[in-house]
């Protein structure tokens, strides 16, 4: 599976962005998908994930109620709708695929996308 993230950019605090992750490969629908992010000078962290089977979603506490992950298996795409953005949401956002459940560190990730930059100004 190859992953291509897009949709990042510069936005003011309180604004919204929608990230997309396009996947190649026929087995996309059988992978759990996630978004991680890495802020400058910090370790990469888990943001949200969605399972392949029932579409169950999980969110980091810092983004609950503001971010929404979704997937469209027919299009091999995962989305991250980000609302009410804050300056602390700034970072490089990576999409990831795994056949296992995601941890905070992402050590179980099978495939990473190349990342897309999100910058939120105050």
- The predicted pLDDT at position 26 comes to 72
Q: What is the mean pLDDT of residues 27-32?
A: 88
Q: Residue 98, SS3?
A: strand
- The predicted pLDDT at position 96 comes to 97
35 pLDDT band, cuts 50/70/90, is very high
106 pLDDT band, cuts 50/70/90, is confident
The 10s digit of each residue's pLDDT in 78-101 is: 999 999 999 999 999 999 999 999
The 10s digit of each residue's pLDDT in 51-70 is: 998 999 999 999 999 999 99
Burial 9-33 (b: 16+ CB within 10 A, else e): eebeeeeebebbbbbeeeebeebbb
State how far the Cα of 33 lies from the Cα of 111, in Å rounded to an integer: 10
User: DSSP per residue over 36-84, as a string?
Assistant: EEE-TTS--EEEEEE-SSS--EEE-TTTTTTEEEEEEGGGTEEEEEE-S
The pLDDT > 90 percentage for the chain reads 84
The pLDDT > 70 percentage for the chain reads 100
50 pLDDT band, cuts 50/70/90, is very high
Joined tokens for residue 39: 């802020």
Cα–Cα distance list, 117 to 10, 32, 108 (Å): 8, 22, 23
State how far the Cα of 117 lies from the Cα of 90, in Å rounded to an integer: 8
């Amino acid at each position: 599976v190859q992953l291509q993230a897009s949709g990042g950019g510069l936005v003011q605090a309180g604004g919204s962005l929608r990230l997309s992750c396009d996947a190649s490969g026929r087995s996309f629908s059988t992978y759990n998908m996630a978004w991680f992010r890495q802020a400058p000078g910090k370790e990469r962290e888990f943001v949200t994930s969605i399972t392949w089977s029932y579409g169950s979603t999980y969110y980091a506490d810092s983004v609950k109620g503001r971010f929404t992950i979704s997937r469209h298996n027919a299009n091999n795409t995962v989305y991250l709708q980000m609302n009410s953005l804050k300056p602390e949401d700034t970072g490089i956002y990576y999409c990831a695929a795994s056949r296992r459940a995601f941890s905070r560190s992402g050590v179980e990730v099978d495939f990473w996308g190349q990342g897309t930059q999100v910058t939120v100004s105050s």
